[in-house]
Structure formats: structure tokens, C-alpha cells
Structure 1
Amino acid sequence: MQFLEFLPDTPLVSFTILILVALLVPPIFEKLHLPGLVGLLVAGILLGSNGLNLLDPQDDTIKLLSDAGKIYLMFVAGLEIDLDDFRNKKNRSLGFGVATFLLPLVAGIAVGRIFGFSWNASILIGSLLSSHTLLGYPIVNRLGVVRNEAVTVTIGATIFTDIAALLVLAICISVHQGEFTPASLAMQLGSLALYSFAVLYGIDRVGKAYFHRTGDEESNQFLFVLAAVFLAAVGAQLINVDKIVGAFLAGLAVNDVIGHSPVEEKVEFVGSTLFIPFFFVTMGLLLDIPTFVETITSPYGLGLTLAIISSLIASKFLAALGVKLLYRYDWNEMLTMWSLSLPQVAATLAAALAGFQALNSAGDTLLSEAVFNTVIVMMLVTAILGPVLTARFARKLPLPQQGRGRAIDASSDWDATQEGVTPHPFTVVVPVYNPLTTKYLIEMGVLLARQESGTLVPLSIAKAHVHMDDPQLKISLIQSQKLLKRAGETSHEFDMEAQPILRIDDDIANAIGRVAREQNASLVVMGWSQTTGLRARLFGSVIDRVFWASHCPVAVMRLLEEPINIHRLLVPVKAITPRSLKAIRFAQRFADTNQASLTLLHVCVPNTPQEQIAAFEQKLEKVLANAKLKVSSEIKTVAHEDAAHVILKVSRSFELVILRSTRRRTAGGLAVSDVTTQVVKKLTCSLVLFGEPHS
């Protein structure tokens, strides 16, 4: 194409093209109900030598970005493993992990030998089938069955399968690139063990000390995480182990350091937005379409593809069946475990690429192009089949009982779980920073505080940095005093004496959290701020950071009318958990003080057994009855696949919707939006986003 001649020969062109692909392609494929990563692969094919020839996989810039994406993909895979779930069910998780690793490993080795591959290549093929990527996690999360034991065990098993598969990869590549002797293998295993200990223990200890010293310096903490990841990757290469092994171990080590914090959100955002999409595009660039077509159409290639995919599906099924018999799970739990363990994306693709690019002294690759192409097909099949099956089987799982038979006390106060903190007097802190929303926020704070005979604390923050004689600070102080005066006037209208506080701070979110702690607040009521967009996602919105920093519940409000005029409340309830019960408790308090009616909306998937719906409604009725508040309440259940659509439709008859804040997860390194995010964008009535500390 002649227009290509006008493009400058600079790495900036390749980088710009990759940015545009990551921005535009995944949303298009998601609208077609296909995974975004499939779109990235297709884009790589179209932009490579088989299409427009805009990108060259051998270009140094592309190689660098691909390596960074591969490292980041495995780092995020380690970071996203829920270590708490693994610790809670470690024995059963290890049991399923061993079964779902060994059976596919043996099946893959058998296929490799049957099709004429060497023992080393066959073992690596088996390891490619042994790990799994939790693409179905957003589905089980949406259905409210994440805490079902079978799901928890499957999530916990990921840590074993990924580590074991990467260890096999490291040994196979080492054997392929050097002269194999028992002594060299022992040395390799010994150095790998010492390296793993150094990464897991060293990053954990140093990271916790560094985070403790840096406090709120999130930018430096983010850079520390990046440094840890790439240092671990470089360290892996120093002992002749593939860099993705180091990246995954770094993810596990950093997992304990940052926990569920704003830094984790930034780390995952950068990966899912930039580096990981670049990796998938590069995978598409490496595909030779004529060879790919020949691979899946020739008798040998088609046979190899069908054998690998069918052996994967069968061996994963047998592993889940064995665990079912051993731990006495029912069929729906077994089939859910099987479907969750089917998708082969993160570790599989990264390991396949590493094996495809590993050369020995003779210039031979460890994995042939036929196997590499087969792995791409396997990824596409399992990335679609796994989530489809998960959606089918997981909806039949019973909702887990919380606390192993311990009843949840719905009537308990929302801050009663704070050890050593007296729940009364009830104190509501209301940060005011927008003159247009101050009146409604203070009015809401007054209604809630007065209902509990509590205290209202309006808070205004004058933002400043180092110099207290900064003219801008003087202007901020004057504006803050005006806001507090207006807040006091509003509270007087409702016959309540406020206790205003003016704080000078360089960080609004931290200031709100600290004042709330100093005042022993029971609740923080704050106005809406920008939660989307590049700046908010990179640096965190004030809302996100207050949720992280606060010790007590936070109610973020977008009020379109005076709270005293709000009389119809809607609370969507996905599952009965301690956090969802506190959101219901908040709604009941407001409804009681404002003589409002309350509707609890439960959206279940189609074909949910009627007895399960009835049991869930009975639990909700018990929750409402235990609160001992005279509130007109009803429970509405709707069976529908799209929970966000139902909530938006039902909300048209209500004046206020109360949603619970939830953290977003990622799957295979690509961001997955949740129902709350969808509803917030389109809701046309007043809104309360209710969040617990660290929710």
C-alpha cells in the first residue's frame, strides 16, 4: 500500500498503532459477545505480514513491548490469585490443583508422543494443558456463588497449577538449551528453589518495609512494584529460567504486600490498558496464516489440534470428577469446577510463546509452529467454551451460607464490628466542597444523625502543600469558611447544631479518612465526583480513595432532589452477605427517618429453581424483620440474564437507588466491568453508592 511510504521510520509509529488497537478493538469484539483478546489477536494478524504489514514482530520496539506484556500478564496472574481463599481451603485446593495438573500433563505427554514429538517437547505440551485462567470469575461473582466451597477450591487450585506448569516450562527450556545431565538438572532445580525463595521472601519483606515507610506515596509504591516485577524477570534469566516464571513469583510476592489497595488498582490498570493488549497483538503478528490454515486443515495438523483440545477437556473433566468423589461435591459443583478450569489463556499463551521462541545450539525451537498454532486454537475454543459452561452450571449452585452456620445479625449496628470502638454517639461526617451539593448533603446527614440522636460534623478541606503563606491557600480558606457557614445554616433549618471542622491538607481523601477516625465517625456522607476517565483510573478518584482510607462505612450520594422529598427507595441485593446487609440497614435507617417505602430487588438468572428463590426471599424477609424498624418494605425478584438492565428498568419507579460499592476484577489481564459500574453510568434518579472499608 503506497500510503505506507509516507509513514516515518520511527518506533513511535508502531507504538501509536498499538495504542489505537488497544483502544478501539476490544470494545468492538465485546459488543459481538466475543472476548476482547480475540479481537487483539485478529488485529495482530491484520497488521502483520499477512495483512497490512504495518507491524513487524522482529522489530526491536515490538519485541520490547511484547516482552513487557508477557511479563505483566504473568505478574497479574499471580497478583490476582486470592491467597486468603487458598489459605482457607488449602488442603482441598491442593488436592484439586494436583489432580487438574497431573491428569492434563499425562494426557498432553501421551498426545505429544503419539504425534512424534520428543519427550522434552511432549512434557512441555502436557504442561501447557495443566494450568488454567479464571475467565469465569466475573460470572460466579455476578451469580453470588464465589464463596461456594467448590468455587473457592478451584480459585485456590490456580496457585498450584500455575506454579507447577511454569516450573515444568523452566526445566524443559533449560534441558532444550543445554546439555542435559542429572547433575545439571539438580543444579537447575537447586538454583530455581533458591531463586523462588529469594523472590517470594525478599519482595515480601522489603515491600512491606518500604510501604510502611512511604505511607501514602502511591506513585513511589507503584514504581516499587514495577521495579520488583522486572527485577524478578531479569533474575530468572540470570539462572537460565524464562522471565515469565520470575514475573509470576513476583505477582505472588507483591500480592501479600499491596493486598487490596489503590496501588493494586493502578498496577492492574496499567497492565490491562497497555502492556497486556500489546502482548496479544504480538501473538497475532507471529501467526503465519497460510501455515495456520494448513495446520488446522491437514490430516496431521487437524488430528493434533483435535487431540490436544479433546484431551484437555477430558482430563480436566476427570480431575473435577475425582475431586467430586473425594470431597462429596454434587454434580453442579463438579461441573462448575470443570468449566472454571477449562480456559487456557494467561500462563498457557505465555509458556507457549516461550517454548516457540526457545532455541538450542542448533537453532531448533522447542515447540513447533504446528503446536503453537494449535495452542492459539485451544485458547480461542476454551476462552469461549469455559465461560459459557460456567454460566450454565454455576447458576444452579446453592448460595453459600455465611460464617459456617453462624447467623448474620442484621439488626447489629454497622460499625459494631470495629473492635474497641464505642458505636455511640452516632456521628456523621459530611465533607463539603461543592456549593451546589452542600445543602442536600447536609440535609441527608441531618436526617441520618437525628434519627440516631447523633452528631453532625460538616468538614471542609482547604488544599495546601508546603507553604502556609501561599495566596491560593488564603483563597481556599475563605471558600471553606463560606461552605461551613452554609452547612451550619442548613442544619439549623432542621433544628440541629452542627460541629463544623476546617482542615488544611494536601490530600483530600486522606484528610476525610483522618477526620472521620479522629471524630470516631459512624458514617461518612459525601458528594459525587468523577469516577471514570483516564485521570481517575490512573490516580484513583476521591471516592475510591476514601473507601480505601476510611475506617467506617461511606455513603457517596448523587442527589437530584431534597432528601426530605425522597420516599421510594430501591436496593438491589445479589447475595446475603455482611456487607450487603449493612447497605440494607443504611436504607432502612433513611426510610425510617423519612417515612419512605423500601423495595429489595433480587435479580436471579433464568431457570433458577423456584425453591431457591423462595428460600432467598425468606432470608430477606428475616433480615427486614430483625431490623425492628417500622418501614414499609417489599421484596421483588426478577429472573433475567442482564442484572444491570433490570435494575435500570425497575429504578424508573423510584426516587433513590442504593448500590453497594464493589471492586472490579480482571480476567486474563483484561478489565471486566461489573453491574454497579453499568448502572451508575445510566441511572436517571438519585443514587447512593454505599461502601464498606476496603470494599
Structure 2
Amino acid sequence: MELISQVLVLEPTSQVLGKEPIVPFAILLVVILVIPIMFERLRLPGLVGLVFSGLVLGPSGWNLFQSDSPMINLLSDIGLIYLLFVAGLEIDLEQFRRKTSRAFGFASFTFSVPLVMGTLVGLILGYGWNTSILIGSLFASYTLLAYPIISRLGVINNEAVSVTIGATIFTNIGAVLILAICVAVAHAEVFSFAKLLTLSGWLVIYSVAVVTGFDWAGKEFFKRSGDEEGNKFLFVLLSVFLAAVGAQLIGVEKIVGAFLAGLAVNEAVGEGPVKEKVVFIGSVLFIPIFFVDLGLLIDLPAFVNNLNTLKLTLLIVVGLIVSKLIAALLTKLVYRYKWQEMLTMWSLSLPQVGTTLAATLVGYQSGLLPVEVLHSVIVLMLVTSTLGPLITSRIAVGLNSPPADEDSAPPLVEENASETDNAFTIVVPIYNPQTQQYLIEMAALLARQSHGKIIPLAIATAAAHMDAPQLEASLQRSEWLLNKATKQSRALGVGAEPMLRIDDAFAQGISRAAREQKANLIVMGWGKRTGLRARLFGNVIDGVLWASHCPVAVTRLVESPKKIQRILVPIENLTAPTLQPVQFAQMLAEANQSHITVLNVCDRRTSSSKIAWRRSHLSLLVSKLALANAPEIQIIAHENVAQAILQAARLYDLVILPFIRNRTSPGGLAISDVTTQLARQLTCSIIMLGEPQRTQTTNLIMSTTVSSITSAV
């Protein structure tokens, strides 16, 4: 009986958690999924929720997790490496090349002034030179959390904004290199100037070897890998950890190698599905765990009760804000920017997330930074990640983005499209018999209006043996679908050239067939697979949009396209490439004698003069399209873009949306586009028009919503 009673006694929760690593991991997943969503609904950044979760679950709270847990340490270290890797991967090299000299000028100011300010703060508080310089380097870099805001406002082409984006490459590299030298000097038993020169030399050699070597290897591997996205994904991960190991071998921190690896494979990876998958893995798992681990390190009683810590925090926060303002002011004086541009540059350079937090944690773990500095920098991150985007959303509204000739949108239909060799060609992939009728009707309307033709396309999945029964069944089904589509198109008075293709995958088969047929447009049905598997491995629509050489219209039609009379085209950015949906709408409107409304939603605080400027600017852009019937232009001032479009869409039969993928922040925490919300809530017909990769800077929807950092604004 005594033995039975001992067996029945439940073990304490802490012992269960210690013996079963799967339990704390499950808790971490729940935290990562639920907490950011809760904080966003409270109009707070999701990052705050992750750090707060670590504080509650750690020694200062419920004591469920310990900061020295092997599992959490491993996952946090991977998140730390991932954070710096994504920071290098997300650097916009194109923006840097456009404004190299001025980007270097602003980078010099926004790096050196905060560096000096932070060093002075450290010296005033009694820290040594090495620690003080490292504190100064924490001020020097910045994270472009407000990129989605300036993208939505359409001011990315503004010179001041472009310069601020391009300057990140200098500030991040400088901060990472200073961290490497400071930590190496701290670990040296006997420091000498000769050892510093030796370390610097090895660091330069290592950096050049990683950036040039991995860049060459990445481009060669990607060229030879074809469509093997899995192998490309593994190559990128291998590059990250090889570079991290190489950094440790020469005596510098592993995050230096991770950052350089991201910079090295930046161009090889480009904007494509491989980059999406690499960033996705980090942003949904490893990077959030890193922020939770930061919360575990906070000693709340020591922070609250220590007057010196509060004083240090105040000095660091005020010093960072003031130094970044001075740097932006110096840039204004040198390059003669307007006050509004100067304040925008200041607000964009305020957020301290990616490189700053990573460098702080490394400095703390190496014993170079005391726990008081760690606490202060975490507070700095919380303040600046909220304040920076908030100021940007209010200041950048008034910026003007000068039109550029290279931004002119290519016409969907060429002037000589009626000629046989240049007939407007629409490829219609067919798979679902229930949606096939409306797809063919849509394609027929467009083809008839453009004097073009339809190519119904069926893909039969290849098998190892060409006489396999499953391949034969797939071929028979495809032929039946093609016969049905041919009859439907002929009944609508449009010529059809059915095409049957055997391919390994639907997406590759569609994009390759469209290229072979020199298609001008692909019209597809809506895909339903949007869960975790689709995020990791993509679906057919993702694959076609990434690979296609021509625009892709993804349709969800609730009624026959022939009944569409009122078309709404929301335009988010006032730049010419985003106007292809207007051209598409015009083709459909002329076929149905429909009415088009082009809608732009601006911030509710936008002045009446600015609204008038936006209306005239949008009218000018639309007029350059030389449309037969000019569409109606509407400008709505509203605090919520998605809600404004949803309210306006109630009066329309069809909404045409650009299929846009948001740029992720260098922390890898993605900001979902308003298109995601619209796709879920619109009840009318929807067409999402994805433009080819070459005409986009950041493409498609990235609906990863681990943490909408700027949801508070």
C-alpha cells in the first residue's frame, strides 16, 4: 500500500517540465502563437508580448522556464544567428546602389554621432573604454520596422527615404564589426595593439572570403539546382552555420558570420520562394523564441529597485533619440533636405531591434556588458520599436515621391496585338470542373476584347514510368477537361487551342507552358491550401506567381463575369507599376460596358491639400495609360485601409487587388498586407493580379503574422 501511494503522488510541475522537454516546447509554441495576437489587439507591438511572456514565465514570474535550460539555449542561439542572418539577407542592395554616396553620408552621421553619444554615456556611468565603445555601437545601427508604412504611403522613391534604406548596410556592418573586436579584446589575456591589428586583419580577410566566396558559390549552386527549392533552402542554411563556425574559428562571435552570410547570399537568393521559406522558418519559430529568452533574462526586482539601472535606462533611451535626431539634422544641412524628410529619416533610424538586441545579448553573455545594460537595451527596444513607426506614420504622410520614367507600367496589350504573331494569348489552367465555366468566361471576355486567343491548359502529373496506370487516368481526365473547355470557349465565340502537358509539378508546368506559348496573361482559379504546409512548401498559385514571366490573374468569382458592371480597383502605392490592375479592369470593363472606380486610401490625418495632390497625381498616372474611358478617381481618408476598402466594396461586383508580398523587417517578423484581410472578408468577386517578378520590388502576399510590429500605428 505504501508503494502504491508513492506512485499515485503527483510530481511537482517543475519536475515534470524538467524531465519532459516536449512540455516546455509546447508551451513556447502556444506563447508564440497566442501572445503576439493578444498584444496586437491591445494596439501594442507583438515583440512586447514575446518579451513580456519570457518575463512572466521566467525566474521573475512563474519560474516555469530557466534561462540556462539547454533546450531554450539551443533554440535561442539559433534564433540569434537567424536574426543577424536575416538582417543581412534583407538589406536592399538595389536601394544602396542607387544612392551610394548619400547613403554613405547619412550612414556616417547616424553611425558616428550615436557611437560617440553611447560611448560618453558608458564613460559617465563609470564603465571602461571597451564596454563604453560597445554601448555606443549598440546605438549605431537601426532596424527598418516602418518599411511597410512607407511602402503603403508610396514614398519609397523619395530620396531621403531611399538614402535611409541604403544606409543600413553601412550601419549594420559597422556595428557587427565593432562588436567582434570589443568581445575579442575582452577575451584576450594580454591586450596589445599588435594583437588588435592581427585580429582586424583576420576579420577583414574572413569577411572578404565569406562575402565573395559564398556569393559566387550561391549563384553557381542556384544556377545548377534548377527548380530544386529544397536543395537551395538547405544550401542557404548550410551557408549560415558554416559562416558562424568560421567566425568562431578566427576568434570572433558567430553572429558576425551569420550577418556576413546573409549579405553574401543576398543576391543569389533574391526575391523568391527560397527566401520566403528561409525567412518564414526563422520568423515563426526561432526568432520569437529568442525574444522570449530575452524576457527570461530580465530580473524585474533588480531592475525596479536599482536606481542606477533606471538612471542608465533613461540615459540610453534619451541619448539614442537625441543622437539619431542630431545625425538626421546634420544630413539635412549637408544635403539640403526638407524638415519633413529629415524627421522621416530620424523616425526610420530610431527602432533598435535586430542587430542591437543580438549584439547586446552577445556582449552580456561574454561578460562585457553588465545585466543593467541588458535591461536598459530591452527597454530601449520596446520604446523605439513603438515610437519610430508611430512617428513615421504621421510624418511620412506629407512626403512626395517623385515619379520616375522607369516606373512606367508596361501595357497589358501591345498596339499590334491584333497581328497573328502577336495575338494576345491567355493561358487558362483547368483542374476543377466546378470553377472552369467562370474561368473560361473571364478569359473569353478578355480575349474577345483584345482580339486574342485562349489556351486551356491541363497538367497531368508525371510518373516514373510513362505507362503507369495513374498517369493514364490523369491523362484521360485532362483530355475530358480540355474538351469541355474547348466547347465552352467556342460557344462564347473565342478561339481555343487546348494544350495537354505532362510535368512533375503543376506550378512549373503552368509557368513553363505559358512561357513556351508566349502568353500575355494567366487566368487561374483560387487555391484553397493556405495552412502550414502551404507556407512551408508553397502552393500552385505561389509557384506560378514566383516563376511566371507575365501577369497572373487569380480569380474568385461568385457569379458569371458577364454580369460584372461595377469594378473597384484599390491602389495602395501611387507608383506606375501598381497601375496594371487598372489596365486589366479597363479590358474587362470595355467587354461588359462596366464602370471602374480607382480608389486610394490615405491616412485620416492627411490634409485637404495633400488629398488634392494625391487625386491629381493619381489622375495623371492613370491618364498616361491612354485608356478609352477614364475611370472615376476616389481618395478616402481613413484610419484603417482594409476597413475603408471593405466599406466601399459593398457597392461593387468585382474588386481587383494587386497581389503584393510585403518586405519583412530585418528581424524577420513579417507584416501582413491589407490584401490578406480583404481576401478573407470580401463577399463579392475578387481578382488578385500578380505582376511578373521583374516589375516588382517586393512581391505577393506574405501573410505570416507572427508579430505585426507596426500594428499599433
Same-fold call, TM cutoff 0.5: yes
Structure 1 counterpart of 2:682: 683
- What RMSD, in angstroms, separates the aligned Cα atoms of the two structures? 1.8
Which of 244, 247, 255 is residue 255 of structure 2 equivalent to?
Answer: 244
Shift of 1:49: 1.6
Shift of 1:22: 1.2
Quote the Cα distance in structure 1 between the aligned partners of 2:402 and 2:530. Answer: 33
Structure 2 counterpart of 1:646: 644
- Contact 2:57–2:64 (CA<8 Å) still a contact in 1? yes
Shift of 1:99: 0.5
Quote the Cα distance in structure 2 between the aligned partners of 1:547 and 1:244. Answer: 34
Shift of 1:5: 4.1
Quote the Cα distance in structure 1 between the aligned partners of 2:332 and 2:493. Answer: 63
Shift of 1:152: 0.9
TM-score, normalising length: structure 2: 0.93
Quote the Cα distance in structure 2 between the aligned partners of 1:583 and 1:37. Answer: 35
Distance 1:422-1:124 versus aligned 2 partners, 3 A rule: farther
Structure 2 counterpart of 1:672: 671
Quote the Cα distance in structure 2 between the aligned partners of 1:4 and 1:55. Answer: 9
Q: Could you say what secondary structure the match of 2:265 adopts?
A: helix
Shift of 1:249: 0.7
Note the 1:90-169 alignment, pairs <5 A: 90-169=100-179
- Contact 1:398–1:612 (CA<8 Å) still a contact in 2? no
Quote the Cα distance in structure 2 between the aligned partners of 1:199 and 1:491. Answer: 56
Q: Does residue 394 of the first structure (1) align with residue 396 of the second (2)? A: yes
1:473-522 CA-partner distances (Å, limit 9, x unpaired):
11111111111111111111112221000111111111111111111111
Unaligned residue ranges in structure 2 (runs of 5+): 1-10, 694-698, 700-713
- Contact 2:152–2:573 (CA<8 Å) still a contact in 1? no
Quote the Cα distance in structure 1 between the aligned partners of 2:573 and 2:493. Answer: 39
Quote the Cα distance in structure 2 between the aligned partners of 1:385 and 1:4. Answer: 38
Structure 2 counterpart of 1:317: 325
Structure 2 counterpart of 1:60: 70
Quote the Cα distance in structure 1 between the aligned partners of 2:583 and 2:304. Answer: 59
Q: Which amino acid aligns with 2:359?
A: A
Quote the Cα distance in structure 2 between the aligned partners of 1:229 and 1:391. Answer: 34
Which of 261, 264, 281 is residue 253 of structure 1 equivalent to?
Answer: 264
Quote the Cα distance in structure 1 between the aligned partners of 2:535 and 2:29. Answer: 17
Which of 372, 375, 399 is residue 373 of structure 1 equivalent to?
Answer: 375
Unaligned residue ranges in structure 1 (runs of 5+): 359-364
Paired residue total: 680
Quote the Cα distance in structure 2 between the aligned partners of 1:451 and 1:619. Answer: 29
1:179-205 CA-partner distances (Å, limit 9, x unpaired):
211111011001101110111011110
Quote the Cα distance in structure 2 between the aligned partners of 1:42 and 1:413. Answer: 51
Distance 1:623-1:323 versus aligned 2 partners, 3 A rule: closer
Q: Does residue 308 of the first structure (1) align with residue 319 of the second (2)? A: no
Shift of 1:531: 5.7
Shift of 1:7: 4.5
Distance 1:162-1:590 versus aligned 2 partners, 3 A rule: same
Shift of 1:532: 2.6
Which of 297, 302, 306 is residue 291 of structure 1 equivalent to?
Answer: 302
1:205-255 CA-partner distances (Å, limit 9, x unpaired):
011111111110001110110010011111111111111111111111111
Q: Which amino acid aligns with 2:522?
A: V
Quote the Cα distance in structure 2 between the aligned partners of 1:310 and 1:41. Answer: 22
Once structures 1 and 2 are overlaid, which stretch shifts more, 278-287 or 621-630? 621-630
Quote the Cα distance in structure 2 between the aligned partners of 1:201 and 1:416. Answer: 42
Shift of 1:609: 3.0
Which of 205, 215, 218 is residue 216 of structure 2 equivalent to?
Answer: 205
- Contact 1:597–1:632 (CA<8 Å) still a contact in 2? no
Once structures 1 and 2 are overlaid, which stretch shifts more, 510-519 or 421-430? 421-430
1:28-51 CA-partner distances (Å, limit 9, x unpaired):
111111111111111111111222
Q: Which amino acid aligns with 2:401?
A: L
Distance 1:323-1:163 versus aligned 2 partners, 3 A rule: same
1:65-114 CA-partner distances (Å, limit 9, x unpaired):
11100000111111111110011111111111111000000001111111
Quote the Cα distance in structure 1 between the aligned partners of 2:172 and 2:630. Answer: 51
Shift of 1:6: 4.3
- Contact 1:592–1:629 (CA<8 Å) still a contact in 2? no
Q: Which amino acid aligns with 1:260?
A: E
Note the 1:481-500 alignment, pairs <5 A: 481-500=479-498
Once structures 1 and 2 are overlaid, which stretch shifts more, 387-396 or 469-478? 469-478
Structure 2 counterpart of 1:345: 353
1:521-552 CA-partner distances (Å, limit 9, x unpaired):
11111111036321111111211211111111
- Contact 2:407–2:577 (CA<8 Å) still a contact in 1? no
- Contact 2:597–2:631 (CA<8 Å) still a contact in 1? yes
Structure 1 counterpart of 2:203: 192
Structure 2 counterpart of 1:528: 526
Note the 1:427-466 alignment, pairs <5 A: 427-466=425-464
Q: Which amino acid aligns with 1:502?
A: L
Shift of 1:650: 0.6
Q: Which amino acid aligns with 1:677?
A: T
Quote the Cα distance in structure 2 between the aligned partners of 1:601 and 1:527. Answer: 25
- Contact 2:459–2:478 (CA<8 Å) still a contact in 1? yes
Q: Which amino acid aligns with 2:26?
A: T
Q: Which amino acid aligns with 2:676?
A: T
Q: Could you say what secondary structure the match of 2:451 adopts?
A: coil
Quote the Cα distance in structure 2 between the aligned partners of 1:631 and 1:662. Answer: 27
Q: Could you say what secondary structure the match of 1:58 adopts?
A: coil
- Contact 1:462–1:502 (CA<8 Å) still a contact in 2? yes
Q: Could you say what secondary structure the match of 2:30 adopts?
A: helix
Identity across the alignment (%):
54
Distance 1:354-1:579 versus aligned 2 partners, 3 A rule: same
Distance 1:407-1:26 versus aligned 2 partners, 3 A rule: closer
Quote the Cα distance in structure 1 between the aligned partners of 2:490 and 2:375. Answer: 72
Quote the Cα distance in structure 2 between the aligned partners of 1:573 and 1:8. Answer: 53
Shift of 1:610: 2.5
Quote the Cα distance in structure 2 between the aligned partners of 1:630 and 1:230. Answer: 57
Quote the Cα distance in structure 2 between the aligned partners of 1:194 and 1:680. Answer: 50
Structure 2 counterpart of 1:385: 387
Quote the Cα distance in structure 2 between the aligned partners of 1:431 and 1:144. Answer: 34
Shift of 1:629: 4.3
Q: Which amino acid aligns with 1:318?
A: I
Q: Could you say what secondary structure the match of 1:467 adopts?
A: coil
Note the 1:39-78 alignment, pairs <5 A: 39-78=49-88
- Contact 1:595–1:631 (CA<8 Å) still a contact in 2? no
Once structures 1 and 2 are overlaid, which stretch shifts more, 148-157 or 621-630? 621-630
Shift of 1:579: 2.1
Structure 2 counterpart of 1:361: none
Q: Which amino acid aligns with 1:675?
A: V
Q: Which has the higher contact order (CA 8 A, sep 6+)?
A: 2
Quote the Cα distance in structure 2 between the aligned partners of 1:407 and 1:503. Answer: 36
Quote the Cα distance in structure 1 between the aligned partners of 2:464 and 2:280. Answer: 31
Q: Could you say what secondary structure the match of 1:635 adopts?
A: strand
Shift of 1:582: 1.4
Distance 1:16-1:649 versus aligned 2 partners, 3 A rule: same
- Contact 1:509–1:546 (CA<8 Å) still a contact in 2? yes
Distance 1:324-1:241 versus aligned 2 partners, 3 A rule: same
Q: Does residue 24 of the first structure (1) align with residue 34 of the second (2)? A: yes
Shift of 1:290: 1.4
Distance 1:314-1:554 versus aligned 2 partners, 3 A rule: same
